[in-house]
Structure 1
């Protein structure tokens, strides 16, 4: 999985880009927290074998949350959304952005730039990962391997397996060997950033939030808190 700080930074960028009128400190905190939720399955691996990048990285939780959110805000009989009734349009906006943060910053960080995510866990014991590149060649033109367009393969998105979720535990600072059981004497390394590109993402997120909060006079809610 990506370092926790990087996942938080991607969540912060999504908050700055998507919250719109709902942007304030509390909304940003909710969206960033949603980005960090999938990484909590590392702690669960102390009890559940192979839980890291599996238990909270599977598609079931976001699908359930997205379905319930859509039903409540768009399909509830009588048109009376409980979420909108209690928190107004602002609450609905924050909920959808938080869900996007959970999927993109939380699950995507492992699927596209990590050890892989067990998307169908526990129905299938395999982690999936997407690897690819995009470049322009003076002889071949645009070359990309993220989308397998027109291929006879298994699908458009070139998912490939990266070992079993249980058979191949993923190490984390919480559980260095990825296996059940707490070892107090184990060497734990909390990764802040793994390279210059990740540091750029963190710095960009910090700068973006600083500019947005400065533009709103400190981040207090204005129209978002009263719209219903």
Structure 2
């Protein structure tokens, strides 16, 4: 699964692109923090059964926040703009889209699943597969199973747990010593992504400082 650092890296890349000429070190910092927020539900797992990948990974969270920001932005006297400046509504929208959604939630949806509609619907979903062109079979895709096998039990908060650094053995009841592993990068492509994001955000920050001189 992607580490929190990888989530932040993706949020940084998307945020740097979407902010455009409104990019500032403070704005991108808010986006980066938002990308790390969904992983905080790791610490809720011991308290809320199946809470990790559910409570802060639900797609309803960015949807509700996005609706709130949009509604506020349409007001003649926006509370967000009044408190944080004329670009605040735009930055808030980018924070939700680039940080919370693209950086924080979608990478987990594309790897080993999130409870996408929790708490309205309790089921973990994973968007994973392949798309390829074959000289013998033509177009081959496995994202959508067009000939599903016998229906299986869906993954829910009752039967799904994720091993994390804060809760390495979620099904284990005793409190004996366990190795706690907090992943940083677990593959070459993740290291590349982190490096590209760090370079992109650094260069954009430098360009912003130079332009203001």
Is the Cα–Cα contact under 8 Å of residues 51 and 166 in structure 1 kept in the other structure? Answer: no
Whole-Å Cα distance in 1 between the matches of residues 58 and 174 of structure 2?
Answer: 24
Whole-Å Cα distance in 2 between the matches of residues 200 and 210 of structure 1?
Answer: 15
Shift in CA distance, 178/26, structure 1 to aligned 2, threshold 3 Å: farther
The equivalent residue for 1:27 is 27
SS in structure 1 of the partner of residue 132 of structure 2: strand
Whole-Å Cα distance in 2 between the matches of residues 38 and 161 of structure 1?
Answer: 26
The equivalent residue for 2:57 is 57
Deviation at 1:22, TM superposition (A): 2.3
The equivalent residue for 1:3 is 3
Give CA-to-partner distance per residue, 1:47-105, whole Å, 9 cap, x none.
Answer: 1111000011112221211111111112x3xx221112232332112101110120111
Whole-Å Cα distance in 1 between the matches of residues 12 and 117 of structure 2?
Answer: 27
Segments of 5+ residues of structure 2 without an aligned counterpart are none
The equivalent residue for 1:102 is 100
The equivalent residue for 1:111 is 109
Is the Cα–Cα contact under 8 Å of residues 127 and 161 in structure 1 kept in the other structure? Answer: no
Whole-Å Cα distance in 2 between the matches of residues 161 and 27 of structure 1?
Answer: 43
Q: Does residue 17 of structure 1 match 2:17? A: yes
Aligned pair count?
A: 208
Aligned-pair Cα RMSD in Å: 2.7
Deviation at 1:13, TM superposition (A): 0.5
SS in structure 1 of the partner of residue 180 of structure 2: coil
Segments of 5+ residues of structure 1 without an aligned counterpart are 154-159, 223-228
Q: Please report the TM-score for the alignment, with normalisation by the length of structure 1.
A: 0.80
